[in-house]
Amino acid sequence: MPTALVTGAASGIGRAVAEHLLDGGYDVLSVDLRDDGPGTPYAADLTTREGNAGAVQAALDAFGGLDVVVANAGVQHVASVRDFPEDRWDQIVALLLTSPFLLAKHAWDALAASGSGRFIAIASAHALAASPYKAAYVSAKHGVLGLVKTLALEGAEAGITATAVCPGYVRTPLVERQIPDQAKAYGVSEERALEEVILQPHAIKRLIEPSEVAEVVAFLAGPNGSAFSGVPVTMDLGWTAR
Ligand SMILES: NC(=O)c1ccc[n+]([C@@H]2O[C@H](COP(=O)([O-])OP(=O)(O)OC[C@H]3O[C@@H](n4cnc5c(N)ncnc54)[C@H](O)[C@@H]3O)[C@@H](O)[C@H]2O)c1
């Protein structure tokens, strides 16, 4: 049975990915702050080195190997650079950039032993384009694309591929929580913040569903995804076409 570790699997995109992989016959370790993800839940704080090392070890202990790592856990903070809290910068870089690095590092030998190891980061359209008031998130997402490119080159000979899925806005609690912050930052109502700020960059004016991202991850994890490596896999409703 193929095996996968999915981070941030208690909510939103990560939960949809974990459920989709379970439906596809994978054993899945669902890592999150709370141990209530689908499949085999595991609690870890992925802003810490121990949390990342422990999560990979838990997958190896539970399944005896690892074919797929989906580095998905993420948080957002909306503030101008001038007012950006330094602790939030550190937390966001730790979770969005350092955690994927540590997961790849600790899972490397297992992914190589798999023969078709897959490292999939859930990055963002913000790995390719910036928005104001999201300095830490945009910087870390651009960074994780660089990590994925490096992993792709280092992993090629061992059969490991690495990709960065880059969605536009997805209907999850992370986006729902941003609406009041964006309304405040732009001085508009919450309704206008959704329509005029959040959906503004999408050429196609809708939110993406978590299940649509899960389908793409399952494709990349499967045999037909093997030609994708070192690239952003962009699904952004036309955002970066501009
Ligand atoms: N929602 C979007 O519009 C969107 C768009 C592009 C990319 N993304 C990316 O997709 C990923 C998932 O986002 P989502 O929208 O599903 O968010 P979400 O808030 O629904 O889920 C994120 C999960 O990460 C977990 N998490 C947070 N801090 C953690 C920590 N320190 N250790 C372990 N787990 C932690 C949370 O508990 C939560 O379950 C993120 O990397 C996000 O940047 C989201």
Nearest atom within ligand 1 for CA of residue 126: 6
Return the number of other C-beta atoms located less than 10 Å from residue 50's C-beta.
Answer: 10
| Alpha carbons 157 and 74: distance in angstroms, whole number | 30
pLDDT at 168 over 90: yes
Ligand 1: which residue has its CA nearest to atom 2?
A: 170
pLDDT at 50 over 90: yes
> What's residue 197's pLDDT?
85
Average pLDDT over residues 61-70: 98
> What's residue 124's pLDDT?
98
Q: What is the pLDDT of residues 181-208, one digit of tens each?
A: 889 988 999 989 988 888 999 999 999 9
| Alpha carbons 42 and 170: distance in angstroms, whole number | 24
Ligand 1 probe mutation, 56, 87, 172, most atoms within 8 A of CB: 172
169 is catalytic: no
122 lines ligand 1 (CB under 6 A): yes
232 lines ligand 1 (CB under 6 A): no
Q: What is the pLDDT of residues 174-186, one digit of tens each?
A: 898 889 988 998 8
pLDDT at 135 over 90: yes
Q: How far is the CA of 156 from the centre of ligand 1 (A)?
A: 28
The domains found in the chain, sorted by start residue, are 3-170+208-236 (3.40.50.720)
> What's residue 77's pLDDT?
94
Q: Is 238 left (phi over 0), alpha (psi -120 to 50) or beta?
A: left
Nearest atom within ligand 1 for CA of residue 9: 39
| Alpha carbons 200 and 80: distance in angstroms, whole number | 19
> What's residue 234's pLDDT?
98
pLDDT at 41 over 90: yes
> What's residue 236's pLDDT?
98
37 lines ligand 1 (CB under 6 A): no
> What's residue 39's pLDDT?
98
Q: How far is the CA of 75 from the centre of ligand 1 (A)?
A: 5
Ligand 1: which residue has its CA nearest to atom 34?
A: 32
Candidates 26, 42, 133, 137; catalytic one:
137
pLDDT at 163 over 90: yes
Ligand 1: which residue has its CA nearest to atom 17?
A: 174
Return the number of other C-beta atoms located less than 10 Å from residue 21's C-beta.
Answer: 27
Q: How far is C-alpha 203 from the chain's CA centre?
A: 23
